[in-house]
Amino acid sequence: MSLDLDPIPADLFAGGHVVHLATLRRDGAPQSRPLWTILHDGRIVFFTQSSSAKARHLADDPRVSLSVADKRNSYRSAWVRGRVERTIEGEDALAIIDLISDAYIGRPFPMRSGTVYVVEVEAQGAMELPFDDQDARAS
C-alpha cells in the first residue's frame, strides 16, 4: 500500500525540480540518474525510453529511491523509497509525458515515445534547514 505524500515531498516531486532516481544494476551496484517527475493521481510518476538503462534496471528490480532539492533553496529537500507499481505505455503514457514536460519546459515533450513509471511510496522524508542558498553567497 502506497503512502500518501507529506507536504514537502508532495510539493517537490510535483514538478519543476530536478529529481535523482537510484536503481540497482544487475550486478547489484546502485546507479543514479537525474529526471523529471510530477504527481499523477496522487502518485509520483516519471518516464524514460524503453531502451534506457533505467528501464532495464527497473525490469530486473522495481525498487527505487528518489531524492530532490528545491531549485529555489537547495537546503529544502525530500526523498522517497519504494517500488514501481506499474507502467503506462502508448497514448496514455504520452499524455502523462506531456504533463511532465510541461512542468519543466512549458511544452509537450518533443520525442513521441516513452514509458511512464508509477511509484508506490513505502518510506519518505524531508528536511528544511533554517538558511538558504543566499547565505553561502553572502560570505
User: 16 versus 132: which is more confidently predicted?
Assistant: 16
> Which is nearest to 66 in space by CA: 135, 18, 114?
18
The helix/strand/coil state of 34 is: strand
Mean pLDDT for the stretch of residues 122-130? 95
pLDDT at 135: 61
- Residue 138: pLDDT band (50, 70, 90) is low
Give whole-number Cα distances, 55 to 71, 77, 86, in Å.
26, 25, 12
pTM of the model: 0.92
The helix/strand/coil state of 1 is: coil
pLDDT for 136 beyond 90: no
Distance (Å, whole) CA 50 – CA 117: 11
pLDDT for 139 beyond 60: no
Residues 38-72 have pLDDT tens digits of 999 999 999 999 999 999 999 999 999 999 999 99
What does the DSSP 8-state code read for residue 61?
-
Residues 78-125 have pLDDT tens digits of 999 999 999 999 999 999 999 999 999 999 999 899 999 999 999 999
Grid look-up 497514448 returns 91
